[in-house]
Chain A
């Protein structure tokens, strides 16, 4: 296959056989409970230097509680996929967790600009679609996929994509390498103890991310019976054998919303934004992450029952998710 051009962006070389070997060696085939605390899940399955993917983002059905635990455990040198993200990257950079970011879209601000100036983070350019598609390649167990965009742009030049001559038609085509994250964290509506997971709603790419990842942590609003899963198998989005850990986390998407359950805490966002512009993200992290031992403690001591009830009330739609 003739390569016509290559972007200069860094990427991890896909290694399909290493992935298969990892699955053979480490993935649990039996129906066993994988329920564990967030502390155990993050400590066992997130390592310094890992590539981390997640779904959806801090604003909608995101793994808010797992992000905070990753920061609390002071994980370092992560490489993250910022596909369709919001302040996710700013939060993890403020927490000192990230050294590389594959960019689809992210909210930028003082934290990111400062880290970039000081050389603490490096960006590689893709797009929301390209990153999501790279996870699809990873999920299909193939080393790359062809597509018809990125070409002709500086984004291509700063990505790890290649232009090739299609060996069938002779047309110019763009290839992107598969992305198999070391670890993925996904927040779900429901899950059984084995990891059979239900994500409701339009959700970017939870299935692709789950399948592409070597290690997978699911945090869930609630645990449901395996019997309930089996009565409506079509509602299952991720089957159990992909899942390494199940963390029970009601309001785990906080401060983001989980469609069908609760709205986003706008005041919390403004507090984070304010802390960025005043150079006080350390105080923000101390209050919301380091001074509490767990997600549960944060909900009790920092958010409070009154606010949680308000957020539940703010979500007026259940149709399509639970009905």
Chain B
């Protein structure tokens, strides 16, 4: 019998994002949560020198693992930074164009990469469920050159129209829409990453385009978990599955206790092929 891996959809997304992190770029990572976990996994596995800032104002830390449960407490996640400053300062670093990538999580996203983290269902005044708000997502998605957005592959998360446009994607998708609105030029969402797929955006129409699928799913399954039809790349990329070592690092060092990563849907894959088992 071949070896298998059992993991959650949250862990899967973290691993996929971690494979995308480039050592010669600077990242602006939103809050403590899955985006930071993805960056830290990359840092532990492959790109130890990668530079990033967090909203509180820690610049290029070398965190002391294991991080505390629920990532509560700043001393280990800000450990051995090159600079401790504040939010206005790191936001200015992004405004000046230093941040190549913003790394964020979203509740709901539309085909132009506009995303919602404010409320779901009902109206703004009377929401069915109110959520936390943009946090730093608005400034990160507006001012970093490229934005990477993590979410779950679910029909209610990929919608024609977000319930609330908390943070900007390509707005109405028309050429120059972001610039006309008052945002810095040549910025915008770059990739959407889920537990099942990777999406990018068509350069002309700014519409979301399926770029690749994870080995445990199919194009049909991904499309069935979207409320709109994305463009599909001519040649779909194969996206590498997580490894046992990556999962071990997440569980032992990055999210001990599994506060963020153990919640979600558990599934089992063949370690070699990434195909679903059972």
Contact (Cβ within 8 A) A133 B88: yes
Q: Taking A264-B68, A266-B69 as contacts, is the C-beta distance between A84 and B135 under 8 angstroms?
A: yes
Across the interface, name the chain A residue whose C-beta is closest to B116: A154
Bound together, the chains give a CA A309 to CA B59 distance in angstroms of: 31
| B95 part of interface (Cβ distance < 8 Å) | yes
Bound together, the chains give a CA A278 to CA B58 distance in angstroms of: 37
| A186 part of interface (Cβ distance < 8 Å) | no
What 1/0 mask marks residues of chain B from 108 to 130 whose CB sits below 8 Å from any chain A CB? 00000010001000001011011
| A234 part of interface (Cβ distance < 8 Å) | no
What 1/0 mask marks residues of chain B from 175 to 199 whose CB sits below 8 Å from any chain A CB? 0011011111000000000000000
Contact (Cβ within 8 A) B133 A148: no
Bound together, the chains give a CA A152 to CA B87 distance in angstroms of: 22
- The number of chain A residues with a CB under 8 A from chain B is 64
Contact (Cβ within 8 A) A315 B133: no
Bound together, the chains give a CA A257 to CA B143 distance in angstroms of: 31
Cβ contact of A204, chosen from B56, B70, B129, B182, cutoff 8 A: B56
Contact (Cβ within 8 A) B74 A153: no
Cβ contact of A155, chosen from B68, B127, B134, cutoff 8 A: B134
Across the interface, name the chain B residue whose C-beta is closest to A122: B125
Which residues of B lie under 8 Å from residue A266 when comparing CB positions?
69-70, 72
Q: How many A-B Cβ pairs are below 8 Å?
A: 203
Contact (Cβ within 8 A) B131 A158: no
Bound together, the chains give a CA A228 to CA B118 distance in angstroms of: 46
Please tell me which stretch of B75-83, B201-209, B220-228 contacts chain A, meaning at least 4 of its Cβ atoms lie within 8 angstroms of it: B75-83
Contact (Cβ within 8 A) B56 A152: no
Bound together, the chains give a CA A117 to CA B122 distance in angstroms of: 12
Please tell me which stretch of B6-14, B147-155, B165-173, B234-242 contacts chain A, meaning at least 4 of its Cβ atoms lie within 8 angstroms of it: B165-173
Min C-beta distance of A36 to chain B, whole Å: 28
Across the interface, name the chain A residue whose C-beta is closest to B138: A127
Q: Taking A154-B165, A202-B86, A203-B86 as contacts, is the C-beta distance between A129 and B139 under 8 angstroms?
A: yes
| B73 part of interface (Cβ distance < 8 Å) | yes
Cβ contact of A263, chosen from B55, B73, B88, B118, cutoff 8 A: B73
| B137 part of interface (Cβ distance < 8 Å) | yes
Across the interface, name the chain B residue whose C-beta is closest to A203: B86
Q: Taking A56-B56, A204-B56, A204-B57 as contacts, is the C-beta distance between A84 and B181 under 8 angstroms?
A: no
| A171 part of interface (Cβ distance < 8 Å) | yes
| B271 part of interface (Cβ distance < 8 Å) | no
Which residues of B lie under 8 Å from residue A150 when comparing CB positions?
138, 142
| A132 part of interface (Cβ distance < 8 Å) | yes
Which residues of B lie under 8 Å from residue A133 when comparing CB positions?
88, 91
Bound together, the chains give a CA A265 to CA B73 distance in angstroms of: 10
Please tell me which stretch of A38-46, A103-111, A241-249, A300-308 contacts chain B, meaning at least 4 of its Cβ atoms lie within 8 angstroms of it: A103-111
Q: Knowing that A103-B133, A132-B91, A263-B72 are A-B contacts, what are 8 other residue pairs whose CB atoms are under 8 Å apart, sorted by A's residue number?
A: A123-B130, A125-B134, A133-B91, A155-B118, A155-B164, A202-B54, A205-B88, A320-B75
| B interface with A by C-beta (< 8 Å) | 31, 54-58, 64, 68-70, 72-76, 78-81, 84-88, 91, 95, 114, 118, 124, 126-127, 129-139, 142-143, 164-168, 171, 177-178, 180-184
| A interface with B by C-beta (< 8 Å) | 56, 59-61, 82-84, 103-108, 112-113, 116-117, 123, 125, 127-130, 132-133, 136, 147-155, 158, 163, 171-174, 201-208, 256-257, 259-260, 263-264, 266, 269, 314-317, 319-321
